[in-house]
């Protein structure tokens, strides 16, 4: 089912209904995601390798489902992806991806969340921790 993008006139027509406002907010969010602001979940090392081979800037969020700082920064990453639509955002769960141990060691991932920024297929920079402002600055410097 395709998302119907909301216009200001359709919001104005339904301005008194709380349910309509919530529905419109969900539709706007779906439209943003459909236009390229989503974070792609990568389930294999091969998917990660294909994802970073891109002419442009790519951000990978290495996380774990049990990691509290990872959970705290996740909404900020979604917001950043919606705002910086020229950047590809992906995330790789280090506890659920098969054969990830040696891979994570080779990438020097020692704690989470860990973010790698790639530019034109090559590693540009990396950072660790729940620091959305620092990540944003790093991503913008890669543009």
Residue pLDDT, tens place only, 37-90: 799 999 999 999 999 999 999 999 999 999 999 999 999 999 999 999 999 999
Residues 27 and 60 in one domain: no
Q: Verify that 44 and 111 share a domain, yes or no.
A: yes
Note the pTM of the prediction, 2 decimals. Answer: 0.74
What does the alpha-carbon distance between residue 96 and residue 74 come to, in Å, rounded to a whole number? 17
Beta bridge partners of 114: 62, 128
67 tagged catalytic? yes
57 and 30 in a single domain? The answer is no
Known catalytic residue: 70? yes
Domain of residue 65 covers 39-142
Burial class (CB in 10 A: 0-12, 13-18, 19+), 101: exposed
**Tens digit of pLDDT for each residue in 81-107?**
999 999 999 999 999 999 999 999 999
């Amino acid at each position: 089912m395709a998302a119907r993008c909301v216009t200001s006139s359709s919001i104005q027509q339904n301005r008194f209904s709380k349910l309509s406002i919530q529905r419109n907010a969900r539709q706007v969010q779906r439209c943003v995601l459909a236009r390229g602001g989503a974070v792609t979940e990568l389930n294999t090392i091969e998917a990660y390798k294909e994802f970073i081979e891109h002419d442009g800037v790519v951000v990978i969020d290495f996380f774990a489902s049990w990691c509290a700082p990872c959970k705290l920064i996740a909404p900020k990453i979604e917001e950043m992806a919606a705002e910086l639509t020229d950047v590809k955002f992906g995330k790789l769960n280090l506890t659920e991806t098969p054969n990830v141990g040696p891979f994570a060691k080779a990438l020097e991932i020692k704690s989470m969340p860990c973010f790698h920024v790639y530019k034109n297929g090559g590693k540009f920079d990396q950072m660790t921790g729940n620091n959305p402002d620092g990540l944003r600055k790093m991503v913008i410097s890669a543009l």
